[in-house]
């Protein structure tokens, strides 16, 4: 099976934006890689069979995508998200 996180593959990041006031409250959601494409039109198509982690705003909108829970938390902190649940 090919590694979707290998260099040169689709970048594992949704289009990230400067967090609005509503994006400062978020949660991390684990999901299967093949389901990522259903999150938004900008979501990458990933090879099936992997677990990925999505940081979602309080309204459920995806903010960013990571290959580990720790990376999701670190990226959220980098984007000035105040509270993760």
pLDDT value of residue 9: 42
Residue 2 falls inside a structural domain: no
- 6 in a structural domain: no
Q: What pLDDT, on a 0 to 100 scale, did the predictor assign at position 29?
A: 94
* Residue 64, domain member (yes or no): yes
**Which range of residues forms the domain containing residue 63?**
21-84
Torsion on CA atoms 82, 19, 80, 77, rounded to nearest 10 = 90
Render pLDDT for 34-47 as a digit per residue (tens, 0 to 9). Answer: 999 998 888 888 99
Model confidence at 77: pLDDT above 60: yes
Number of domains in the chain: 1
Residue 32 lies in a domain: yes
pLDDT at 17: 44
In a domain, 50, yes or no: yes
Residue 70 lies in a domain: yes
pLDDT in tens, 15-33: 444 445 555 788 999 999 9
Query: CB of 73 within 8 A of CB of 54?
Result: no
d(CA 48, CA 76): 25
């Amino acid at each position: 099976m090919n590694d979707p996180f290998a260099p040169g593959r689709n970048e594992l990041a949704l289009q990230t934006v400067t967090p609005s006031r509503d994006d400062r409250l978020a949660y991390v959601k684990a999901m299967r890689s093949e389901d990522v494409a259903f999150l938004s039109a900008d979501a990458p198509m990933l090879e099936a069979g992997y677990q990925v982690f999505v940081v979602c705003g309080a309204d459920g909108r995806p903010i960013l995508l990571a290959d580990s829970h720790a990376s999701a938390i670190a990226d959220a902190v980098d984007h000035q998200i105040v509270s993760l649940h």
